[in-house]
Amino acid sequence: MHDDIPLTTGRARRVLDERIRPAVHATATPLETAWHELPGEPIPPAEGLALTFEPYEVGTTWGAAWGTTWFRLSGTVPVEWAGRRVEAVIDLGFDINMPGFQCEGLVYLADGTPVKSINPRNQWVLVAEEAVGGAPVEFFVEAASNPVLLDYHPFLVTHEGDIQTSSSKRLYTSRRMDLAVFESEVHELALDIDVLLELQAELPEGPRRMRILQALDDALDALDLQHIAATAPDARAALADVLASPAEASAHRISAVGHAHIDSAWLWPVRETIRKVARTSSTMTELIDQTDDFLYGMSSAQQYAWIKEHRPEVYARVKDAVAAGRFLPLGGMWVESDTVMPTGESIVRQFTQGQRFFEREFGIRPKGVWLPDSFGYSPALPQLMRRAGFEWFFTQKISWNQVNKFPHHTFLWEGIDGSRVFSHFPSMDTYNSRLSGSEVAKASRQFRENRLASGSIAPVGWGDGGGGTTREMTGTAARLADLEGSARVTWEHPDVFFDRAKAELPDPPVWVGELYLELHRATLTSQHQTKQGNRRSEHLLEEAELWAATAAARTDFVYPYDELDALWQQVLLQQFHDILPGTSIAWVHREAVAKYAEVADRLEALIAAALSALVGAGDRTVVANPAPSLQSGASALGATLAADVTVAAPVALDAVDGGFVLTNDLVRVVVDARGLVTSAADRSTGREAIAPGQAANLLQLHQDFPNMWDAWDVDRYYRNRVEDLDEVTALTGSVDADGTARVVVERAFSASTLTQEITLAPGSRTLEIDQTTDWHETEKFLKVAFPLDVRAEHTIAETQFGAQKRATHTNTSWEAAKFETSMHRYVLVEEPGFGVALVNDSIHGFDTTRDAVDGHVTTTVRLSLLRAPRFPDPETDQGVQTHRFGLVIGTDIAGATTAGTLMNTASRTVTGDHGFAPLVQVSGDVVVSSVKLADDRSGDLVVRVYEPAGRRGTGSIAVDGPFGDPVEVSLLEEPLPEGSAHTSSIDAAFAVDAFEVRTFRFARS
């Protein structure tokens, strides 16, 4: 027989789109509409419902960017619709291709009860399952006119991303606000045809595909296009057999979980995310009520906290659904944070704040870390996840790699300390699945562990901007539960999936080291003030906890639990994976910088109050040192009278050949007439740090216009065009009163100006550079280069509680793809006997090259300082920016750790009567990370230490305060499980493994 597949599929697709889907709500009558446009920010629902409303005509434009319009919709159910399912159909002017990225609304009853949201893929609201003829209908819609910023031609420059610069033009035109009969058989027919069309497209030209095509033809023959609703049952009957044919016994198994992945901020501000979460949560609880087996998962304790505070009526429904086991708290973190740039303590607090919230509110502790969309994953994470009690890790983002395909979907991920966590990437390669035929087939086809394991996870729903799972998706899932030619789809809790996967893979493959995303590398640099605010907030929080704990132990100072929790939560929110990476609209980053300033002010006040209690009333100068090593003459974690501080010999500053030579007891540095560092030598050995014939502190400006994702990406070809900024407008030198030598360099380039203060302090190996840039560039990338006379096989870059090595060569595609990499406070290059480090106070990105002249190999490290992308914030980083970085001459990993810590943890002077001894003293091979009081408010002391150098060692802790013997605890500050590796007393030295994190709890006496 003749087969014309395109004729059948083309016919089915057209009938489906142009006749069947419109017939779902074909019987309709308009609702009476009225509106009230708010002049400013959103108002609480109770106030919105009480507004005065003016008549509104459908088809009228509404909604300026970021505005809110309240609509009142009213009507009466026609008598002839009695007993039918009746729905309101509301089209605010939607583009169905942009759910979550344009206008949306939350529907309320007149008494304030939230019903569900409406968005481009979810335009209906249930009126009644069995309507009563003549019954009145009244809904209120809180409609948000969010502008479309990521359009069909993405990454276009726009000023709509900030309420301060957006247009007042109305953006949307409503199309429909009707009461309509819901034709359930027509809806089901649409799903039948859609599922079969998509399934057959993935099948080979064999019997199964041919029979599906014949069934589609038979169904369409049975369908009267002028009487769709009346003949839909006949059409469905023609499809019944092919839909009833069961899946193969070996079919891939997809564990579906409803999902919306609501970015806590991105192309919308935080205030809009609060409403997005409420909208999506209301719709998901409604869908749970309408189905028997659907499960919806939502991460981020912050998002639950927002609903609780701002939409308690929605939160009540969420709590009920959680108790029923249908609404699943996932992830155990405060937000789905970036995991590359935050400190180790920040990651710990993401876990502790998240798990405390979920347990307090729901009696639940999520078992896994759910991070589908962060931009790469630190190799420190496996240890932290395991020590926080997590059993599994889930992500998807590595499937976005530009060059190398990740070799596993279910595997063990091994971190820098050797800890391993069971991990899964969905083989569907998306966290916004709609269970399409192509997605389901892809999940089965490319699952890397098919030989041994049975399935994968599919997060199902419209996401990024929210929306979640639709009834079309649950209908699709029902058809794919057991369908020949398809993977089997089951709604399933991720915990159940991971338990089964562990049983199927008792010896899974292992991936060692970072999960580096071969994309979005520029997120280490974009929006510098946001990153700077985060780094400073992190260190101030740790300092405030230290001094508050010390004061609470020794004086009547009251430990500020509530305020510290609130400040941590604010900083943790800003670590969300589209805020800290610098990829959000201008509004988001403007607010983030303001929040960081507020956090700093409040922490400075807490620190001042705690230190005042500790040093007493008096007029003597006291130096307080929050760093875990000696600084400014003050002991680690304690305070010393300034009069007792020993001062080293001043630095010599000599003018030579238009430049300067800076010399102290340890190093000698030459700054030439261009303001470049041409020599940096260790005086004890004479070893030179700067590569022969090269100059360090060389600022370089690149053209920076990636193929797409402007704020996110830097593409390799940016290196092909570079301008060296080596001209000076002024060069001066001086010696400060404390003996520090200072060289000031001023430069002008393009539309920008820049000043550097190059300093060398007495007794220091670190040449420090304080840089202020008045930045007015467009699509440029500013780097500072340090060509180092070190033959390094690897760079060693600080990460959370340790460091990671990366090859300096590009032998393989995996190494070549890492042309921009991350660090925390230092990056070190070393060869046997000599090392050089670059330290910083707010820089996260760097690149490395190996250079050779006549067989002499050197290593160039460049720090990434500023970018100027135009999307999504067209004014990214414009204006005054500050950086502080330093060259540590002759050091190793321990010295780099200390130098980096001191650059970020300055001593401070206060006025009082006396200094004080440290509450905690640590010795041996460990470093203090945190000194605080326990989260449970028992008054117990918690001390966290870690081994920073990557080698086995020993450590000891002494506490000078009213505390008893220590007990080792988890990161959640709870006793370790029986059989844990380290549970012994620390009365004497205790053993530590490489990069190991240990947390000890001392009971209050």
Nearest to 286 by CA among 432, 121, 117: 117
Burial (CB count within 10 angstroms: exposed 0-12, middle 13-18, buried 19+), residue 583: buried
Token digits of residue 848 = 């490395």
Q: In sequence order, which ranges of 755-807 are alpha helices (DSSP H)?
A: none
Nearest to 30 by CA among 103, 88, 82, 94: 88
Helix or strand (DSSP H, E) at 903: helix 893-904
Give strand pairing partners of 644.
none
DSSP letter, residue 247: P
Residue type, 80: E
The 3-class secondary structure across 12-62, one letter per residue, is: HHHHHHHHHHHHCCCCEEECEEEEEECCCCCCCHHHHHCCCCEECCCCCEE
C-alpha triplet 516, 520, 524: angle, nearest 5°: 85
What are the angstrom distances between the C-alpha of 546 and each of 126, 626, 947? 55, 7, 20
Is the four-CA dihedral 276, 278, 284, 286 of positive or negative sign? Answer: negative
- pLDDT block averages, 10 residues each, the chain of length 1005: 87 98 98 97 96 98 98 98 98 96 98 97 98 98 97 94 96 98 98 98 96 98 98 98 98 98 97 98 98 98 98 97 98 98 98 98 98 97 98 97 97 98 97 97 97 97 96 98 98 98 98 98 98 98 98 98 98 98 98 98 98 98 97 94 90 97 98 98 97 98 97 97 98 97 98 98 97 98 98 98 98 98 98 97 98 94 98 98 98 98 97 97 97 98 98 96 96 86 58 97 95
Q: Are 76 and 128 in contact (CB under 8 A)?
A: no
The 3-class secondary structure across 440-500, one letter per residue, is: HHHHHHCCCCCCCCCEEEEEECECECCCECCHHHHHHHHHCCCCCCCCEEEECCHHHHHHH
Round to whole Å and give the CA distance between 452 and 775. Answer: 55
Nearest to 866 by CA among 520, 525, 519: 525
Please enumerate in sequence order all residues whose Cβ is within 8 A of that of 881, keeping only pairs 6 or more positions apart, or say none: 528, 529, 772, 773, 775, 865, 866
Specify whether the backbone of 280 is left (phi greater than 0), alpha (psi in -120 to 50) or beta: alpha
Round to whole Å and give the CA distance between 387 and 981. Answer: 11
- Neighbour tally for 643: CB within 10 Å: 9
What confidence score (pLDDT) does residue 646 get?
85
Q: Are 300 and 334 in contact (CB under 8 A)?
A: yes
Burial (CB count within 10 angstroms: exposed 0-12, middle 13-18, buried 19+), residue 482: middle
Nearest to 463 by CA among 259, 631, 244: 259
Residue type, 849: T
- Neighbour tally for 293: CB within 10 Å: 14
Measured in Å, how far apart are the chain's first and last C-alpha atoms?
90
Nearest to 527 by CA among 401, 710, 347: 710
What are the angstrom distances between the C-alpha of 541 and each of 536, 537, 603, 605, 974? 9, 6, 7, 12, 22
What confidence score (pLDDT) does residue 983 get?
41
Q: Which residue has the tokens 């305070």?
A: 639
Please enumerate in sequence order all residues whose Cβ is within 8 A of that of 767, keeping only pairs 6 or more positions apart, or say none: 662, 667, 669, 677, 680, 758, 759, 760, 886, 887, 889
What confidence score (pLDDT) does residue 688 get?
98
Q: Provide the whole-model pTM.
A: 0.97
Q: Are 331 and 369 in contact (CB under 8 A)?
A: yes
Burial (CB count within 10 angstroms: exposed 0-12, middle 13-18, buried 19+), residue 647: exposed
Round to whole Å and give the CA distance between 26 and 19. Answer: 10
Round to whole Å and give the CA distance between 940 and 936. Answer: 9
Residue type, 892: D
Token digits of residue 432 = 């916004």
What confidence score (pLDDT) does residue 977 get?
85
Round to whole Å and give the CA distance between 258 and 433. Answer: 9
What confidence score (pLDDT) does residue 984 get?
46
What are the angstrom distances between the C-alpha of 420 and each of 320, 394, 652? 35, 14, 52
Token digits of residue 453 = 């394991």
What confidence score (pLDDT) does residue 987 get?
56
Burial (CB count within 10 angstroms: exposed 0-12, middle 13-18, buried 19+), residue 1005: exposed
Q: Are 96 and 57 in contact (CB under 8 A)?
A: no
Rg (the chain; Cα; Å): 31
Token digits of residue 182 = 């819901």
User: What does DSSP say about strands 67-76 and 61-64: parallel, antiparallel, or unpaired?
Assistant: unpaired
